[in-house]
């Protein structure tokens, strides 16, 4: 995958996380928090923390890819994808939103 294509994909992932956070915040503003159980309120706040971390990680990843491009890197073999959506609980905790995906060949190549 060409580095500029990877940057475009990473920027799209970052924008998707930003849109998800905004929509989620609007939804949460409409909730009657006093009607939620303590567990549900805690899980909602934990997801806020995860989304904040993913937003920061995605922005850092875009910056890093752009730095690679300025250093002369033209192609990548793999890239990290960010998925902002709610993840199911697993035995060891909440699943990561990161996926390590092989970079597809560019159409332009």
Q: What is the DSSP track for 20-89?
A: HHHHHHHHHHTS-GGGS-HHHHHHHHHHHHHHHHHHHHHHHHHHHHHHHHHTT--B-SEEEEE--S---E
- Residue ranges making up the domain that contains 76: 3-102
Tens of pLDDT, residues 1-42: 899 999 999 999 999 999 998 998 898 888 888 888 888 888
Distance between CA atoms of residues 51 and 97, nearest Å: 9
Task: Give me the pLDDT at residue 67, please.
Answer: 95
**Domain assignment present for 109:** no
Band the pLDDT of 87: cuts 50, 70, 90: low
Burial of 3 (0-12, 13-18, 19+ CB in 10 A): buried
How many folded domains does the chain comprise?
1
Mean pLDDT of the chain: 79
Q: What is the pLDDT of residue 93?
A: 44
């Amino acid at each position: 995958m060409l580095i500029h294509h990877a940057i475009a994909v990473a920027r799209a992932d970052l924008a998707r996380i930003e849109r998800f956070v905004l929509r989620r915040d609007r939804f949460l503003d409409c909730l009657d928090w006093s009607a939620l159980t303590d567990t549900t309120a805690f899980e909602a706040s934990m997801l806020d923390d995860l989304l904040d971390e993913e937003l920061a990680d995605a922005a850092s990843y875009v910056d890093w890819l752009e730095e690679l491009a300025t250093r002369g890197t033209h192609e990548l073999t793999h890239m990290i994808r960010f998925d902002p959506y709610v993840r199911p609980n697993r035995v060891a905790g909440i699943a990561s939103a990161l996926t390590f995906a092989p970079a597809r060949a560019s159409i332009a190549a």
